[in-house]
């Protein structure tokens, strides 16, 4: 068995964020009169304003995001993510994984740990790209990765700050695209799905873990107590209620071009794992 070595690659792409911000501002300025409305939780806002509001939410809660996830789900989110990884069943044979909206690293770290169960001599190294539009979330993830100090058998990880609706990657770049509890925060879910399809290789797999419905009478007060941030968590829970039901989201994934689309409910439908293939 080959000795394990830890290889981590950090890519700073902050200029991309500025580029996307400027691009958005230019587009929104030129078409202000035609700016459509969308939802921000239960609020109605201009599409040009939603991404700024969502960005601010995650800036405010980045440091306490994992703590609140534990409190909000009584720790069950960890089980959901473990099941998500089991359903993915990565073989570790040179896989290129894009984990979108994965700033704090929960999915990426599970994938890296999963790979270490496979003898290095029996597989090719894999690569993980953790992508998030919010640098604060990525900063938390990078700090967690350094503390984790996980040995990797040639597997690499990079951190990219970019917009899910306009990814800075070439066509057919990845074997797997994952997004957990992130797609409901995007302004144009259809564009996110289209980009996921574009960057996946033929035969590549799209997997999404997302809430379907949830009670929000308890979560916002818990957010205030644990993170001293009531309004951001009020938005997070309201956004769950506004997200399409499982069958509706399945149809959206199919419309983006994915085949063999299916979903599995977990915990009586509180969350669902959605899956599709680029064939």
Binding residues for S-adenosyl-L-methionine, as ranges, are 104, 132, 163-164
Distance from the Cα of residue 279 to its chain's centroid: 22
The CA–CA distances, whole Å, from 34 to 31, 47, 102, 189, 256 equal: 5, 10, 32, 19, 25
Give the containing element (helix H, strand E) for 84: helix 76-88
d(CA 151, CA 6): 5
Q: What are phi and psi of 39, to 5 degrees?
A: -105, 145
3-state secondary structure of 67: helix
**Residue 36, Cβ neighbours under 10 Å: how many?**
10
Beta bridge partners of 264: 273
Binding residues: 104, 132, 163-164
Burial of 157 (0-12, 13-18, 19+ CB in 10 A): buried
**Residue 170, Cβ neighbours under 10 Å: how many?**
9
């Amino acid at each position: 068995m080959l000795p394990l070595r830890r290889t981590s690659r950090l890519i700073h792409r902050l200029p991309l964020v500025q580029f996307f911000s400027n691009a958005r501002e230019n587009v929104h300025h030129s078409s202000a009169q035609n700016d459509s409305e969308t939802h921000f939780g239960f609020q109605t806002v201009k599409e040009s304003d939603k991404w700024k509001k969502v960005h601010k939410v995650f800036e405010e809660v980045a440091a306490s995001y994992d703590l609140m996830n534990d409190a909000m789900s009584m720790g069950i989110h960890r089980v959901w993510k473990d099941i998500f990884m089991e359903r993915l069943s990565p073989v570790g044979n040179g896989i290129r994984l894009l984990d979108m909206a994965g700033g704090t690293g929960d999915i990426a770290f599970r994938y890296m740990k999963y790979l270490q169960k496979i003898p290095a001599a029996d597989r090719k190294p894999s690569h993980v790209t953790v992508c998030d539009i919010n640098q604060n979330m990525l900063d938390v993830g990078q700090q967690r990765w350094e503390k984790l100090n996980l040995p990797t058998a040639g597997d690499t990880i990079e951190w990219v700050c970019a917009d899910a609706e306009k990814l800075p990657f070439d066509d057919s770049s990845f074997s797997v695209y994952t997004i957990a509890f992130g797609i409901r925060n995007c302004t144009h879910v259809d564009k996110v799905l289209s980009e996921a399809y574009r960057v996946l290789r033929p035969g590549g797999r799209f997997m999404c873990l997302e809430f379907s419905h949830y009670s929000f009478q308890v979560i916002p007060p818990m957010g205030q107590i644990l993170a001293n941030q009531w309004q951001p968590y009020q938005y997070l829970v309201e956004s769950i209620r506004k997200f399409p039901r499982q069958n509706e989201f399945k149809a959206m994934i199919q419309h983006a071009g994915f085949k063999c689309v299916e979903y599995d409910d977990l915990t009586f439908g509180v969350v669902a794992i959605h899956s599709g293939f680029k064939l």
